[in-house]
Amino acid sequence: MKKFLKIFLFFLLFIPLTLFILDKLFPLPLDEVRMSRVVVSDDNTPLWRFADKNGVWRYPVKLEDVSPLYIEALLTYEDRWFYKHIGINPFSIVRAAAQNIYEGKIISGASTITMQTARLLEPHKKTMSGKIKQMWRAMQLEWHLSKDEILTLYLNRAPFGGTIEGIGAASWSYLGKMPSELNHAEAALMVALPQSPSKLRPDRYSKEAQKARDKILDRLEKFGIWNKKTVKEAKEEDIYLPPRSSPQLAPIFARRSLGMTNERVIKTNIDVSTQQNLEEIALNAKSVFQHATSLAMLVVDHTDMSVKAYVGSIDFNDDSRFGHVDMVNAIRSPGSTLKPFVYSLAIDEGIIHAESLLQDAPRIYGYTPENFNSAFSGAVSASEALSKSLNLPAVQLIEAYGPKKFTAKLANADINLKFPSYSEPNLAVILGGVGVSLDKLVSAYSAFARGGKISPLRYLESDPLIEYPFVSDGAAWITRRMLSGEADPAFYRRGFLSFAYKTGTSYGLRDAWAIGISSKYIIGVWVGRPDGTPVPEQFGASTAVPFLYQINNYLQRKETNSFLLNDYLDEKPLSVNAENICWPSGQKLEDNDINCRIKRRAWILNASIPPTLFSAEQDSLTGGWFTYYTDDKGEMTAYYCKNAVKKRLALWPASLTPWLPKNEQIAARLPKKSSTCPPLEGNNPTRTLLIKNIKNDTMFTLSQNREELIPKINSQGGKGTRWWFINGELIAKTREGEFLNYKLTKKGEYQLVVIDESGQSDKVEFIVEKIE
């Protein structure tokens, strides 16, 4: 008895110890179970999948992600005692052995789901040693994992034909739906496929697949899991599936999203229908674009900053158009798309209001850009200047606000502009002399949709909503109305929100941009060549805007009530009100005031009405006003003369003189000088600068015998050095009395402008004809 007890105790200790040692020496290959990564939309539809090193696609799922109908069918058919046994089922082994011996062939198996999972983790040959190894691994699984964990492993590793493994990938590949949505017939079909994946593929062998499915349904009815009616209805569903396909949406975004998280299933905010629509737009654009031109588009729901569509190139598979290059994330010159930000900041700082008088006139100091049309408009309002995207007024504002301050303000909102290594923030920043990506630009425009706060884009469902203060809600509201072309308070209708957008074209026609804001979305469009080659006739307004409107029209159809959303965007902030102002002072004056030369109605912020912004040296010294004195006759006199009355005259900026009607020029507005007590010479602003020896609409003629012409042109009046411009381009500098030496060699219409050191200017327009 003692000997027997010793032997019993020996085995009682030896077997567990042996199993423990074997478990340590031959651990489960769980570390090798690396699931493929799948990028999914906001409703869990797969957008793109990244297969494992063997080219196998698995859509990782959890137990709760799978239809209970599938779990019922699986356990009933494969392993009814799954939650009871220890990995192997002795009763099943005895039953299968008896059946196989009786029939003289293998007709029944004894593998549990745990054993099948073990074989999926570590495949082996169908030999006795292989079966023993499989049983050993099954018991290891039971020791280390819970039943639900083992079942989850099976759900993700079961073979479904070809490179498809797991119920998630199979459900999407064959049925185009989430595994949680499987009905009775589909659940039974999915249970049947792993029995013989290559022979039962429903897209190839529908009859065989249906027969195998019905066998599963019969088993479920036999054991009372599903009733007879349910099984009968499930069998009536024919199996006819289109060829299996892999998810192929948003490839560039999917690639980028891999670096955003370590999750195997990357849940994004992409809307499938919107993404499909934009990709179709991109493919259709290939037929109208020049060689190597690409297209990038971005749609963001600004209510929560979720990215709803992301098209990084015109065609991911087109190498001739650099289709693999992500132009949503590429650094490019933004052209004029940064202009709204300096306007909003200038409004917020009290530098301008919506109808402030700005100067679209030549500059003679520092940065001297041209307008896109190489002409000048003279006096323009801030809203008109932004709407027309005029360059000179934007430079006037960035000069007043400060380019370094402007750049820092954007950087504080996570919009970091890229400068060349040798450069620092300067006036050129406002015309695109920096680099920025489309996604950052769209993020920046959220300031005009979210009450002055800039929010980073939310690519993934897990991304938090972050807000950076940029400008006040009032400044953002005013700027957005300026962008929509409805800056006039007369157009304001509470609850109605127009589509606002801004275009941009980079230097050399390398980039065409359009950024739009609707009641719910921000839309960004970029067109150009990824290699930076200029594209003739490529402009933001003509190239990018058509896509902007096409996308917006689609979104409007999709969101039929979108115009009712986010009324707060058009709910006028309390800090904003409408006021009558006068030009040229830019301030509020009495209706009968002689200095109210042009009356305008403007949106103002915080009840503050900034005066007209002057930039030239003389204008800055006078502050926009000229003080003079008149006598009893109303003639201009000196301040010390008898009965002298002090008066003030609101001045137009001197650089605008050529564009002013004669009755608005200062010489016409001042009274004549007194002959008995004239004003001091030092107090005389009327030494007007004039272009001499050429009149408006003069016509010059060139011919074969006369291929060039040098008109004798000079100037009169003014002060100091003169700067001469032809169609917006600086061509010469002269001194007082010196003639302009410029050759006319081409036919066309010309605008000649001269400006002096005091900021005065004059212009004439003439025509050059050429007789062939």
Running DSSP on this structure, what letter comes out for residue 419? -
Residues 6 or more apart whose Cβ sits within 8 Å of residue 549: none
Cα(314)–Cα(333) distance, integer angstroms: 19
- String of DSSP letters for 72-85: HHHHHHH-TTTTTS
Taking residue 590's Cβ as centre, other Cβ atoms within 10 Å add up to 9
Q: What are residue 453's phi and psi, to 5 degrees?
A: -105, 135
Cα(717)–Cα(206) distance, integer angstroms: 94
- CA angle centred on 434, ends 432 and 439, rounded to 5°: 90
* 3-state SS, residue 27: coil
Buried b (16+ CB within 10 A) or exposed e, 91-102: ebbeebeeeeee
> Omega of the bond prior to 584 within 30 degrees of 0, cis?
yes
Amino acid at 104: G
- Choice among 78, 355, 399, 579 that is catalytic: 78
* 3-state SS, residue 185: helix
Among 679, 626, 659, 747, residue whose Cα is nearest residue 360: 659
Cα(438)–Cα(455) distance, integer angstroms: 14
Cα(502)–Cα(492) distance, integer angstroms: 20
Running DSSP on this structure, what letter comes out for residue 543? I
- Choice among 336, 381, 383, 455 that is catalytic: 336
336 is catalytic: yes
Cα 255 to chain centroid distance, Å, stands at 17
* 3-state SS, residue 649: strand
Buried b (16+ CB within 10 A) or exposed e, 306-337: bbbbbbbbbbbeeeebbbbbbbbbbebbbbbb
Among 5, 264, 22, 257, residue whose Cα is nearest residue 135: 22
Amino acid at 355: E
Structure tokens at 109: 């198996």
* 3-state SS, residue 266: strand
78 is catalytic: yes
Q: Annotated active-site positions, please? A: 78, 336
